[in-house]
Amino acid sequence: MTLDTTTDTTDSTGTASPGTEVAAAAAHHHGYISDKDRYLTRMKRIEGQARGIAKMIDDEKYCIDILTQVSALTRALQGVATGLLDAHLKHCVLDAAKLGDDDAAIAKIQEATDAINRLVRS
C-alpha cells in the first residue's frame, strides 16, 4: 500500500490546498492517541456486551433483563464518547486556539458543539 502525498485538501473556507494533507497529518496527532489501548479495550468489552445482548434475545431471556444490559451498553458507549470529546477539547480545540487561527479554532469548537448535539439527541 502506498501513501499518496499529493492529495489535495481544503481549508476552513473550502479552498483547496494542494499537498497539505500529509504535512497536516504528520503535524497533528489526535488527543486520544495516548489512551488508544484503553479505548480499544473498552470497545472490545462493548462488543462483547452487544454479543451478549444478542444471545439473550436469541435465548428469549426476560425483556427487563435485556433492557438492563442495553442500558449498561449505552452507558459504556457514552463513556467512550465523553472521553473522546474531552480529548478533542483538550487537544484539538486547544491546539487550534494556540495557533492563533481564529477560523480554525471556531471550526474545532463547532465540531465539538455538533458532536455534543448528536450525543444529546441519541
Mean pLDDT in runs of 10 for the chain (122 residues)?
39 44 50 86 98 98 98 96 92 89 91 93 80
The reported pLDDT for the residue numbered 27 is 53
The pLDDT mean for the chain works out to 81
Q: 97 burial class (0-12, 13-18, 19+ CB within 10 angstroms)?
A: middle
Which tens digits make up the pLDDT trace of 25-53?
Answer: 445 577 677 889 999 999 999 999 999 99
Let me know: does 8 contact 17? Beta carbons within 8 Å.
yes
The reported pLDDT for the residue numbered 118 is 92
**Cell 484539538, residue located:** 92
Q: In 3D, which of 121, 60, 114 has the Cα closest to residue 85?
A: 114
Query: What class does CATH assign to 30-121?
Result: mainly alpha
